[in-house]
Amino acid sequence: MFLMNYYPLITQWFKKLLIINVFILVIQPYSIFSQAPKLKFKHISYEQNGLSNSTIESIFQDKKGFIWFATRDGLNRYDGYQVTIFRHDPKEITSISDNYIQCLYEDRDQTLWVGTRNGLNRFNRTANNYH
């Protein structure tokens, strides 16, 4: 008689437990058989046609996916395959103002700003030069 009073509560509890167990059994195979994605990574060094210098002051990834490395001997842009190095050239007025790159910033218009020891530079993406 005592259990009969609690019978509705017990059956509700068992129903909830059954629903939870079914949910776990449905979700569990996906978590057991799922695999981590296979990632490939390539080391970039400065000895093998890579970075211009081993000391990196700043690393930045722009909205287009390029990874920029600010070094003490130029600005390096990595596109996923190769590194392009931008250095100061006193004969070229559109080159970067100094080889010692200190900071990088991209504004909301996707303009890349490069801070050097000798001033601030704006990167012109279409011409691959600086203003």
Tokens 């994605």 correspond to what residue? 37
Q: How far is CA 41 from CA 59, 64, 81, 88, 106, in A?
A: 17, 19, 11, 30, 25
Domain ranges of the chain: 56-130
Token pair for 10? 């017990």
Sequence-distant (6+) residues with CB within 8 A of 63 are 106, 110
Token pair for 96? 């970067």
Over residues 54-69, mean pLDDT: 93
Burial 73-106 (b: 16+ CB within 10 A, else e): bbbbbbeeeebebbebeeeeeebbbbbbbeebeb
Which pLDDT does position 53 carry in this prediction? 86
Instruction: Give the model's confidence band at 127: pLDDT under 50 very low, under 70 low, under 90 confident, else very high.
Output: confident
pLDDT at 64 over 70: yes
The distance in angstroms from the start CA to the end CA of the chain is 90
pLDDT at 54 over 80: yes
- pLDDT over 90 percentage in the chain: 46
Which pLDDT does position 31 carry in this prediction? 53
Give pLDDT tens digits for 9-48: 556 656 666 566 555 666 665 555 556 677 676 666 666 6
Which pLDDT does position 52 carry in this prediction? 86
